Structure 1
Amino acid sequence: MTDINSLLTPGSLVRHPTEPDWGIGQVQSNVGGRITVNFPNQGKVVIVGRRISLELEDLA
């Protein structure tokens, strides 16, 4: 299994797997496994990458 969180960079679009109402968030930073994401319906949230595996959103 690939750790998708380690591949996330600023600007990546993601969804939180257990909070679909938050919408599609944009990664602001990914430092030391702590990922800051700005969600349209929740605001800025810091995700601990070893606890939550974010879902990469492919809008292409």
Structure 2
Amino acid sequence: MNLNEFLEPGMLVTHPLQPDWGIGQVQSNVAGKVTVNFRECGKVVIDGTRIGLILADDP
């Protein structure tokens, strides 16, 4: 089940295929495009129809 449609700004996520990016904070979620600011990679726009982000806990 893809939870991307429920992501809201401020939520913490990880990218399932890029664990080295670290935890990211959702900036926006519009029309299937999720913008996330990752700690180790910076701001990335993800196609939410192709990649299911994973909710993360803040360590």
TM-score by length of 2: 0.93
Question: Cα RMSD (Å) of the superposition?
Answer: 1.4
How many aligned residue pairs are there?
A: 59
Letter paired with 1:45: V
Partner of 1:42: 41
Counterparts of 1:58 and 1:40, CA distance in 2: 14
Counterparts of 1:44 and 1:30, CA distance in 2: 13
Q: Percent identity?
A: 64
Deviation track 1:2-50 (CA, whole Å, cap 9, x = no partner) reads x200010000100000100100000000000000000011000000001
TM-score by length of 1: 0.91
